[in-house]
Structure formats: C-alpha cells, structure tokens
Amino acid sequence: MLTFNKNTAILFIVLNKAEITEKVFREIKAIQPKKLYIAIDETLMITGEEGGQQSYLDILSMIEWPCKVHSFTGKGEKTRVKREEQYISWFFDHEEEGIILKDSYLPSQSFWGFCSSLLEKYRDDKRIGFINGENCQNSVKRGDASYYFSSLALTLGWACWKRTWESCKASIKLFPVFEKLECLDKIPSCKPFKKQWTRSLRTAYYANKDFWNLQLIFDSFINNRLCIIPNVNLLLDMSNQTKDKVLSENEILGEIDNLIHSEIILPDIEADIYTQSVKFRIPMPMKETKEPIESVFLKNKLLNLTEDMASFMKIPRIIHQIYEDLAGPPEQLQRIAKSWKKNHPEWEYKFWNKHSIEKFLNTEFPEFVSYYQNFPFNVQRWDAIRYLILYKYGGVYADMDYECIDPLDTLLGDSTCCMGMEPSENAITHNKHMIIGNALMASVPGHNYFKRIIEDMMREKMNLPDHKASIIMETTGPFMTTRVYDEYPDKSDITLLPAELIAPLTLDEVQEVIKGRETKEIENKIELAFAIHYFFGSWVPQTK
C-alpha cells in the first residue's frame, strides 16, 4: 500500500451532517496527518443531535493522535460555491500544497499516499496543476503507469499546490482573447465540446459567476496545465449512494500497491473524451462508425457542462408561461413554447390562462386584485401577474415569444434571483444606461427584489410620461424593473444575465431571422446563446 507522508496538510470540508461526515473522517483518522484544516459550512453550525455543530464536535473528539488542527467557519458568503472558495483560499493562505477533500467523498486507503507522493514528485513541475482521485474509465487502463495525464482539471477529492490556486483567479479575465483566438480548437480532447465549453466559460466571464472550478479549468486551458488521474478509482461519492444501490464499475474503490510513474507527460485524449462522455451522459460513438469522433460528439447536445454546478441550484425547477386568452396561443407561439419543455424534460411546466390567473389572484394576493383590475392596459396585467407568480412559487418565467436553445441549469447556477438583460441597443434607443428585461426571469420564492417590485406597482405614480408605451414600461415593464434594481440595496443578491447569453439579437436582427436572412454574425450569436427573444410585441397595438 502507498505510504502517506504525514506532513502533508489536509483540508477537510464539512458540508453534510454527522453520519456521512464521520464515515469519511474515519479514513483521515486511519492515516493520522500532522496538519489538519477543518472548514465547516456555516449553514450547518446549528445545535442539536443531528446538526453540524454536533458533527463538528464529534470530529474533534476523534482526533486522538498528535495533530495541529485549524478550524474555520465561512462568514459573509451567501452561496455554497463562494464558501468553498473561501475555505480553499484560507487553506492556501497557510500551506504551499495539500490535499482537499469534501466530506461527501469516501477515499480508498491508497488515495492519501497517491496524492502526497505526487505532490512531492511534481512540486516544481509547473506543467502539472492537479492530482485527482477519481477515475471513470470503466476499468480501462490508460498506459503502463499508475496514472495518466488529463487536460481536464477535475476537483472532487484532489490535491494541488498554492501556485495553481493563486494562478486561476486572474485568468478568467483573458477569456475574450481566448475565445477570439479560438483556442479550444487547439485542445484536441475539448474541441468536440467547443460549443459547450465556450458557453459555460462565457457564463463565468460575463455573468461574473464565481465558480472556482470553472476558473481552475480555464486556467489549465490557457497554461496547458495537466491533471494527474489514477488508473483505478480512489473516490466514492457518498451523496449518490442508497442502501440497496449496486455500485457501477466506475464507483468501485481500487488500491495502488506500488506507484509506477509515467515517463511521457502528455494528455491522454481518448481518456479525456471518455471522461466527458461519462460526466455529461453522452454515449460514446461506436468504433465501427465512419465519422470522426469530433463529428459524432458535435451532433450531441450536452445537457449541462458541470453537474457539480447544477447540484447547487436553488431556484425551483418550474417553468411558467402566460397567455390570458382562453382560446390559447397561436400555433407559432405553441411551437416556441415546446422548446422549454424539450430542454427541461424533468422540470414542471405551468401554463397560466385567464381562469387560473384569476383564481391565483383571489386566493394568494386578494390585496392586489383592485390594483390588477384598475390597470388601464391589458399588458400591465400580463406584466404584473408574472412577478406575483415568481414571488409565490419561484422558478423561471419566460414570455411566449422566447425560444429556449439549451437548458438553463448552468446559467442559473446557485443564484437566488436572475434577471435577463435586454440588448444594449434597446437601452441606447430609450436613452437608458441599461434595461433589465421582464421577459425572462428566475427566482426563489419570496425573494425581496420581487417583493419590492410588487410594492412599487401598488404605489401611486407621479409625473408619468404622456406616451402610452412609456407609461406601461415605467409602471409594470422593464423601466420599472430597472429602476427597482437601481434602488435595491443588495445588488449582489441579483444575477444579471447578459443579453449575449439570453437575448443576443437586436430587433433588426430578429427581423432578418424571421425573413430567413441569417448572417454569419447572427448565426454565431445564436450558437452561443441559451435563449432567443423574438420581441413579437403583441402588446404594442394597445398603445396606438
């Protein structure tokens, strides 16, 4: 069995309650490290037999060997991803290298020696950025060594150096240049997934999503940095296990008796493609196919770039769409609406018409009924009801003229409120610094931003413009949502989704698409977008 260097520091991140945490921690107790960092999620620090506080105390009681223990509870960060980033930064503020393990991953005995040995061997080799414990090659051995090299920065149970962590923070700023130079085409194992990598990295850059794992991946891309993967699986994800579940080949824990080093330091492209096929649930092409792997993979849509991010999603998986007329929407809108169901097959879909809206208002918001009835324009009622629905149930609201191109899980991430921006050309037209649209919105139930929107709609308005369209936009439409955002005290609580990702086309470009006159520029915009707003403007006749 590989020998663990007890001087190697370990960061143990506590995210679960007692049962899973203690089972994983017993593996740490077995190796008796001399330096142990324990970071516990602040949301678990509660009293009670099953609470995180008790779990933490139980961990401390198990430390019966000479060990320098450091503990930390994240403060001030609202999302789990940000707290994890805080824990890792805290760890590398004190250590030059070490092993990082969440309490949901059970390691084999060899995991510790594998990581500590390779941390030492590649300490000064900047070509190597990470050491990961997971292998999902379905018992296929890659090469003759105990491990192979990957272009993918995998971070489940992992080890790395301070140099790697510090490098990644600033790298994401280089994404526009990276995209313009089409650098993904130069990474053979990632080229088949170019569209999906590009989209998710654009999300990290433009939406300012602090997904530290995406930043590490991007930093590895631009620095051609490699990750070490063991040729047997050394980690088991306990969060996916049930009492009667039979482990797949990829989940069975293996051991490494003697560490055989690789003499060639190059990424295994075939292994990387297979890893992505497993992670993203895309079937591998048949060997006898005449098409190259790239073509086969490009024909498959990835449901999500990172399952890890999707697992943090807080916004309920509900899609709301509204069409008040009891006759139902015309065929064109029905076709567009199907795109939401197609791309979110496991989500609940709720369609609202006049009857269901009236019942909802009378039952859930009787105090708003008089305001709703007194709006002079129907479109104001269509606007108002969407805010009330999201405030009550949460989920995603999309106008009927909004087409979904790909699932929104990655885009929404662990946000609690997401508002789609309108194209900058719209803001320029209306002499606004920006316009926060109301055609695509997502939220958890009871979000304070939507509470303030509802309060604003119930407030008497003075000095309204004369133009009917402007009145609508100032009282219930995008000018109002923008104004409420400008006055909102905690803007970090709201994620603004860039127009490039959810409304990339201008009004003129939409007309070109409708006429079948797409340019290469328009095609590129659509290719990188999650959704397209066609701005049919069915409400405009009400202003004439």
> The domain 10-298 is classified under which CATH number: 3.40.50.620, 2.40.37.10, 1.10.260.40, 3.90.550.10?
3.90.550.10
Give the integer Cα–Cα distance in Å for 540 and 537. 5
Confidence at 274, pLDDT banded by 50, 70, 90: confident
* pLDDT value, residue 299: 25
Cβ atoms < 10 Å from Cβ of 40: 24
Confidence at 54, pLDDT banded by 50, 70, 90: low
Residue 31 pLDDT > 50 = yes
> Where exactly does CATH 3.90.550.10 map onto the chain?
10-298
* pLDDT value, residue 455: 96
More confidently predicted of 15 and 534: 534
Residue 293 pLDDT > 50 = no
Q: What are 475-491's pLDDT values in tens digits?
A: 999 999 999 999 999 88
* pLDDT value, residue 256: 94
Query: What DSSP designation does 102 have?
Result: E
Cα–Cα distance list, 507 to 115, 481, 536 (Å): 55, 21, 9
Mean pLDDT of 106-115: 95
Q: What are 481-532's pLDDT values in tens digits?
A: 999 999 999 888 898 888 888 998 888 888 888 777 878 888 888 887 899 9
Query: Exposed/middle/buried for 150, CB within 10 Å: 0-12, 13-18, 19+?
Result: buried
* Average pLDDT across the chain, whole number: 84
Give the integer Cα–Cα distance in Å for 497 and 70. 38
Mean pLDDT of 185-211: 77
Q: Which residues neighbour 446 within 8 Å (Cβ) at sequence distance 6 or greater?
A: 391, 394
User: DSSP assignment of 175-204, as one string?
Assistant: HHHHHHTTGGGG-TTTGGGHHHHHHHHHHH
CB 285 within 8 A of CB 293: yes
More confidently predicted of 78 and 193: 193
Give the integer Cα–Cα distance in Å for 374 and 506. 33
Query: What DSSP designation does 396 have?
Result: E
Beta bridge partners of 230: 147
Q: What are 112-123's pLDDT values in tens digits?
A: 999 999 999 999
Give the integer Cα–Cα distance in Å for 251 and 108. 11
Q: What are 433-459's pLDDT values in tens digits?
A: 899 999 999 999 999 999 999 999 999
User: DSSP assignment of 42-87, as one string?
Assistant: GGG---STTSHHHHHHHHHHT--SS-EEEEEE--S--SHHHHHHHH
Residue 309 pLDDT > 70 = no
Q: Which of 39-43, 179-183, 203-207, 280-284 has the highest mean pLDDT?
A: 179-183
* CATH architecture, range 313-543: Alpha-Beta Complex (3.90)
Cβ atoms < 10 Å from Cβ of 271: 24
More confidently predicted of 242 and 343: 343
In 3-state terms the chain splits into helix, strand, coil percentages (rounded to 5) of 45, 15, 40
CB 310 within 8 A of CB 409: yes
